[in-house]
Structure 1
């Protein structure tokens, strides 16, 4: 029996048989336009969820106002993106938050005295990433309607980054 199993394994290797990974089975290849939309939507979803956590946890009025603006602006951007995708006849890819950002959300949920500092740092990084993503798509993107959307969204995201850069944690944050 053992020889038989070895022979079958050798045959499969010789025949070049390789099993596709689970990721290959479950994740279809995305076009560059779809990848841009997925990454942009994922970032927006992260920022909205982080903002909801901030609204629950912080006592810092500046952080609360920033979080409210994130919910409002990113929600509006998501609606405009869906409209743009419909007009451009591009199917919206499934959007999830990547593992790193999920860990950041999990940390925010349990953060106590350093909550404001963590939230502000995450927002600065997230908005820097989004600025780079938008600028890259504006320069290299293939769909004119998405390029126009990115061009229109870029000033808002830059404004968010400037706001995040001026935020300061306060000692009044919940412990």
Structure 2
């Protein structure tokens, strides 16, 4: 009986230790994990209809788009500069539209998209929310310049390298919009210095 109890305690300890090492995944990581195990041999009705790189592209763009909307809402409420407020409102409108288009494509391809921005973008939003006045405006503008450079690069890559025609077309259509956003926010940043 003592051996059985001892073995049970070891098993419980091992499981507890394993559970502690499994950090909670954020929404993007969860979506990538779900997509990775979907069957790619079907047409999308039961499995995923795109390859792994295309599904990762979709989750990255969805993640960034949701972050842009969240940060844009903050800017439209908290910004001091009229230009920054206007830019924030434009982010909400344009990225909501792009997010909806991407969701429609993802639905037809059986791609699971994140339901909330990842931890990195949530931290950025929390940091922005803690700021006010000109400090907020500067931090938001800097974050938008950095974010739009990254998204433009991903969209450019997607427009050339996505194997799925719909995702490739989405990337090609969305890239000029993001490049226009980048040009506008860089002009705002330059005017602030």
**1:144 corresponds to:** 165
Output one character per residue of 1:53-88: Cα deviation in whole Å (capped at 9) or x when no partner: 1111112110011111111100111122123234x4
Pairing partner for 1:32 from 28, 53, 61: 53
Alignment CA distance shift 1:139-1:170 (3 Å): closer
Output one character per residue of 1:128-155: Cα deviation in whole Å (capped at 9) or x when no partner: 1101111112222121111011101100
Pairing partner for 1:101 from 105, 113, 121: 121
Is 1:116–1:170's contact at 8 Å kept on the other side of the alignment? no
Instruction: Report the secondary structure of 1:48's partner residue.
Output: helix
How many residue pairs match? The answer is: 163
Pairing partner for 1:92 from 95, 98, 112: 112
Alignment CA distance shift 1:95-1:83 (3 Å): same
Higher relative contact order (CA 8 A, sep 6+): 1
Segments of structure 2 that go 5 or more residues without pairing to the other structure are 11-17, 37-51
Is 2:62–2:113's contact at 8 Å kept on the other side of the alignment? no
Length-normalised TM-score, structure 1:
0.78
Instruction: Report the secondary structure of 1:95's partner residue.
Output: coil
**Aligned CA-pair RMSD:** 3.0
Segments of structure 1 that go 5 or more residues without pairing to the other structure are 10-18
Alignment CA distance shift 1:149-1:110 (3 Å): same
Length-normalised TM-score, structure 2:
0.72
Question: Partners in 1 of 2:102 and 2:142 — Cα distance?
Answer: 26
